[in-house]
Amino acid sequence: MADEKMTAADFKAKVEWEGGIVEALDYGLKHTHLDGRAPAALYNAWKKLEELYAPLREQMRVVDELLDDLPDEDDDQDDSDAPAAVNA
């Protein structure tokens, strides 16, 4: 995504267009895309979300790779659609 500046209203529309906050973060929408007229609270809150999302994105990638490495469920097993119980 180009580092173009957006009004707060355009930023909001982009978040909605992408499908929500997580999707917009995943797309690469950054606090630096907000122009200087955007509310400071929005600028700072989005910046914080970027910081929090970065390690989450990495962990999601790790889990996704681990899931990809697992074999697909065998068709000969139980026909139940319920996932196996997880020990917490």
Could you state, in order of their start, the residue ranges of all structural domains in the chain?
8-68
What pLDDT was estimated at residue 62? 96
Residue with tokens 């707060």: 8
Residue 70 has pLDDT above 90, yes or no: yes
The Cα angle at residue 52 between residues 23 and 55, in degrees rounded to 5 = 90
Q: How confident is the model at residue 2 (pLDDT cuts 50, 70, 90)?
A: low
Q: Looking at the whole model, is its pTM more than 0.85?
A: no
Q: How confident is the model at residue 88 (pLDDT cuts 50, 70, 90)?
A: low
